[in-house]
Structure 1
Amino acid sequence: MTTHHITDARPRHHVSALLRLSALTGALALTGTCVLAGLPAASADDAPDPVAAQSAPADTFYDPPAGYESATPGTILASRPVRAAALPSLPLAVNAWQLLYRTTDADGNPYAAVTTVLSPETRSGPARLLSVQAAYDSIQRTCMPSYAMTAGDLASPPPSEALEAAIALDRGWTVSIPDPGGIDNRFLTPRVMGYTVLDGIRAAENFSPLGLDGAATRTALTGYSGGGIGTSWAAELHPSYAPELNIVGAVLGAPIPDLAAAMRSVSGRISGGLIAVGVAAVMYDSPEFSAALDRYLKPGARAILAAAGRECVSATVSKNLFINASDLLTVPLDQVLSDPVIHATIADRARGTATPTTPMYIVNAVNDEVSPIAKVDALVARYCAAGASVSYVRDDLPDLISDHSIEALTSVGGSFTWLDRAMNSDNPNPPTCQTTTVPSTFTDGSWSTQLPAFTQGLARVLLSQSLGQ
């Protein structure tokens, strides 16, 4: 295993606590959302730029060593200490490393990925590991959590999940935040996001500085939206791919189980640019899909899709507010989705074909425009019919502007209440399926118990105090 060293990047100066609080509040308000202003409208230039050209910043850490293919999945190939940040110029006072490890691609071949692992500087209590899947939703390496969490500048803000990681760290848990797409950033590729998450857990458990208990470590998964996609893949693949892992629970927030339904639902909405994000990712994966789609694209659409392949998700959505599928296509969306090649390619990315054996907490807004509730209802029904344990919470908050984004915030209290039980109880959740529809996950009682701990953890982040005390 190669070890890389960096100098301590902790800033020598700190902004005031008041400015930090303002910045942190802004980050919380943007959890799961996109930057909505300040960027120009999408160009209508019809340049036939290909979707793919992923930028690869010069960083040899991401290059797997020769012969890595013979290593077993989860083997650490390289490690380096890093300074992880909750916000630019606001580092987390924790121990942090990045691990390059061997994993598996969609075709079962050797592949590599990076995870950022964090542990409290002083930990009391039993070892616990939380794998946090970020909704970075891009095929660019610079958008991945391992870059964004350590860049330290306003142009590369860390994922909002970094704040959830801080909450977990203050509980004394170790945290793994993988790059679910791997070193080539295969976002939305079938199975890859599950393999990278599970092998990231293996790597973390094998990294001795974290002080975990190997495969016996009590471990949970969590992710919302794009992070929910990775979490659901990992939960489904766990029994067959990594059955030795002691995964005690998985939180699937708005997991978008059907990409075709999501495209129909989000079309014309404020986050309509997500259509370009998803389509660009699938085009990057599949030349056959790209060729089939090309027959239906309007002039200007190719440039929008190519730009989506070069940008992070917030930029793409910001430049394409309220975009409709009809703005990109020469025929109705349903006709495109019924094309045999396009239909098969998207169907390969659906979840629900395997049954997780770990208990799950699934939360989704009834009026979610990105993760349509009917498809999540159907996913839960399939899981339950196959014998899975699911606690399913449906949030009936009225559709305001973007209920997907609102739910990303309001569901955090219930998610951590459920995770607390999963991590600390031998019988944390009922071994059956239970569905509850609530007026709002912000008023279901979880926040009243979680708020003191959340406030304490966020205050320590603002003051650069050690987490997990």
Structure 2
Amino acid sequence: MGHLSSVSRFLSRLTRGTVAVAVTTTVAAATLTATTGVASAEPAPPRDSFYDAPANFAAAAAGQVLKSRPVNVRALQLFPVHVQAWQLLYRTADQYGKPDVTVTTLMIPEGARYKRKLLSFQAATDSILRVCGPSYSLTHGLPIDLYSRTGPITLTNGGAETLLAAAGLTKGWAVAMPDHGGSRNSFLTPHQPGYAVLDGIRAVQNFMPSQLPKKTPTALWGYSGGAIASSWAVEEQPTYAPELNIKGAAFGAPERDLGASLKSVNFTPLAGLIPIALGAIGKDSPAFHARLNQFLTPRGRQIVAETRNHCVGQNVLSNLWFDYRNYLTRPVDVVLNDPIIKKAIAERGITGRAPTVPTYIYNGISEEVAPIAGTDRLVRSYCRGGAAVTFHREQLPPNPIPQISSTHGIVLMTGASAAFDWINTRLTPGAPTPSGCQITTLPSSLLTEQSLQGLGPIVAGSLSAMLGLPVGAR
């Protein structure tokens, strides 16, 4: 019980700190919005020839490394992480299966490299800008930059989630964080993030300095936007990359029912995800973009367009308590039933395909970003297809004022340690392979024995990363 009390105090302090940062930065965000007035054009990516595809890249095999470079990685875009790190530009595919390139950031603990495991950590990029992807934000910029065109809040989810990914480093594993948006920095695109993740695993194994052979035991992990990419990866893997030795995938709050998510998250602290999503789908589909604009007010079109200029933190803080009822000219159900809009959302929904690797899924029952009904449907679809699924439905206390607090953010923190312990078990030699579907409703996975076992590596990885200590050297 003392251990649980310490965890509770830690989470309480973390939550209070997050709220304080949000209040402070919201003032800056409001000031920026007031002074800019109108949406500006999407900023061009920073000039870096490393991201440029070689002339003959289309002839390369999927997952072939086209370029590589050593880099220094920083957690929270501030603290140097004491590991060996490289970035790999590799061949992958876009949503239509056509040749594309993207980048993964590979981190390896210093020391012996014998029989390492691999963790592919999918950050919740939730943006359509290169500067918001892991490869850029882990190596450039600051969490707050009053002079940046994309700021003032420039901290990315990738920069923050490096603290979770570092748990894998404490085990001596290699950790890769792919830019799963591809060369176009897409978000919510169907199929493509799965290809990017799987080809990123291939690229790491093809990269000689990693000393990770083919068939390296591998696990996937991601939350929210990272869960979307992870879920696409396990669905594509049986036909796209059946040779990969993926032992399991853990992901939380996978938003694979975007229509339900749009309704549920409206007028909440994270409602700024709505214009981000609408802008991202519009980037993929000119037809969607044109039809959506017919339903948006001028101010609504301006807000959606402005999301192209910022990463997720700034976009959310600039649009706290966004309410689509103020920006749609027709009721939301009419908009969602429009044939063009309905088709685009359905393409990003539940496919009916089941993974062949074991999966661990966690989701808050009072979740506002990934409503539990949508994740229930995803799990049922996987189970009907014969998948091995462990599903934790987190029954936290009801959210009495959803306009103030966020179940989505709480489960990100409380569900992480049990998810990591499940991953660790899957990567342990000789561990039994799960079978069947185990669906459990519990107060919180934070209170389970698995959570306590997984908490140590997360805390150790986070502290080592922020203090500049060697992480997982062995």
Q: Say whether the fold is shared (TM-score over 0.5).
A: yes
When normalised by structure 1's length, the TM-score is 0.89
- Deviation of 1:98 after TM superposition, in Å, equals 0.3
Q: CA deviation at 1:448?
A: 2.3
Match of 1:359 in 2: 358
| CA shift for structure 1 position 69 | 0.6
1:415–1:30 CA distance, 2 compared to 1 (3 A): farther
- 2:47 corresponds, among 47, 58, 61, to 58
**TM alignment of 1:183-332, pairs within 5 A:** 183-214=183-214, 216-332=215-331
Greater displacement, 221-230 / 163-172: 163-172
- The question of 1:411 aligning with 2:426 is answered no
Equivalent residue runs for 1:314-463 within 5 Å? 314-400=313-399, 401-463=405-467
- Aligned partners of 1:117, 1:402: CA distance in 2, in Å? 32
Residue 163 of structure 1: aligned partner: 163
Q: Helix, strand or coil for the counterpart of 1:397? A: coil
CA distance in 2, matches of 1:311, 1:411: 28
Contact 2:217–2:246, Cα closer than 8 Å, also in 1: yes
Between the aligned partners of 1:459 and 1:255, the Cα distance in structure 2 is 28
Distance in 1 of aligned mates of 2:240 and 2:440: 31
Alignment correspondent of 1:173: 173
1:440 and 1:217 map into 2 onto residues whose CA distance is: 32
Gaps of 5+ in 1: 1-21
Aligned residues: 442
Indicate the SS of the match to 2:95. coil
Over 3 Å counting, the alpha-carbon distance change for 1:95 and 1:315 in structure 2 is same
CA deviation string 1:56-83 (max 9, x = no partner): 1100000011011111110111000000
Q: Does 1:126 align with 2:115?
A: yes
Is contact 1:55–1:310 with CA below 8 Å preserved after alignment?
A: no
Question: Structure 2: 5+ residue runs without aligned partners?
Answer: 1-9, 145-153, 400-404
Tell whether the 8 Å contact from 1:44 to 1:303 is kept in structure 2 after alignment: no
Q: Give the TM-score of the pair, scaled to structure 2.
A: 0.89
The answer as to whether partners of 1:47 and 1:302 remain within 8 angstroms in 2 is: no
Amino acid at match of 1:288: A
1:412-444, Cα deviation, whole Å (9 max, x unpaired): 111011001110143444211000111112212
Q: What's the CA shift for 1:90?
A: 1.3
Q: Aligned equivalents of 1:464 and 1:105: distance in 2?
A: 37
Q: Partner letter of residue 206 of structure 1?
A: N
- Specify the code of the residue in structure 1 equivalent to 2:309: R
Deviation, 1:49, is 6.4
- Whether the aligned pair in 1 keeps the contact of 2:261 and 2:368 (CA below 8 Å) is yes
Q: CA deviation at 1:47?
A: 5.6
- Which residue identity is paired with 2:175? V
Question: CA contact under 8 A between 2:415 and 2:446: conserved in structure 1?
Answer: yes
Alignment of 1:90-101 (within 5 A): 90-101=79-90
Q: Deviations over 1:135-167 (max 9, x none)?
A: 010001111111110015234435222011211
124, 127, 130: which one pairs with 1:135? 124
Return the letter of the residue paired with 1:100: L
Output the amino acid matched with 1:435.
I
Q: Secondary structure at the match of 1:330?
A: coil
Q: 1-side partners of 2:70 and 2:18: how far apart?
A: 28
Is 1:40–2:33 an aligned residue pair?
no
Q: Which moved more, 1:407-416 or 1:436-445?
A: 436-445
1:127–1:217 CA contact under 8 A, matched in 2 = yes
The one-letter code matched in structure 1 to 2:223 is Y
Asked if the contact 1:47/1:303 (under 8 Å) is kept, the reply is yes
Write the distance in 1 (CA, Å) between the matches of 2:85 and 2:16. 22
Cα offset, 1:28, TM superposition: 11
Per the alignment, do residues 286 and 421 of structure 1 end up closer, same or farther by CA in structure 2, a change over 3 Å counting?
Answer: same
* Superimposed CA distance per residue, residues 23-65 of structure 1 (whole angstroms, 9 cap, x where no aligned partner): xx8699659x978623117569996867xx3521100000011
- Which whole-Å CA distance do the structure 2 matches of 1:388 and 1:161 have between them? 28
CA–CA distance in structure 2, aligned partners of residues 308 and 314 of structure 1? 11
CA distance in 1, matches of 2:270, 2:72: 32
**Contact 2:419 2:454 (8 Å CA) reproduced:** no
Which amino acid letter does the alignment assign opposite residue 411 of structure 2? Answer: E
Structure 2 CA distance for partners of 1:399 and 1:429, relative to 1, 3 Å: farther
Alpha-carbon spacing, 1:29–1:357, altered in 2? closer, same or farther (3 Å) = farther
Higher helix share: 2
Cα distance in structure 1, aligned partners of 2:133 and 2:444: 31
User: Could you tell me how far apart the structure 1 residues matched to 2:17 and 2:351 are?
Assistant: 31
One-letter amino acid matched to 2:408: H
- 1:380 & 1:57 partners in 2: Cα distance? 40
Please say if 1:113 is aligned against 2:102.
yes
CA distance in structure 2 between the partners assigned to 1:103 and 1:265 by the alignment:
34
The root-mean-square deviation of aligned C-alpha atoms, in Å, is 2.3
How far, CA to CA, are the matches of 1:112 and 1:365 in structure 2?
A: 35
- Give distance in 1, aligned partners of 2:232 and 2:382: 13
Query: Could you give the per-residue CA deviations for residues 112-145 of structure 1, whole angstroms, max 9, x where no partner exists?
Result: 0000000001146632000000001000111111
Map 1:3-42 onto structure 2 (within 5 A): 37-38=26-27, 39-40=29-30, 42=33
Q: Which residue of 2 aligns with 1:466?
A: 470
- Deviation per residue, 1:310-337 (Å, 9 max, x gap): 1111111111111111122011111100
Contact 2:129–2:308 at 8 Å: present in 1 too? yes
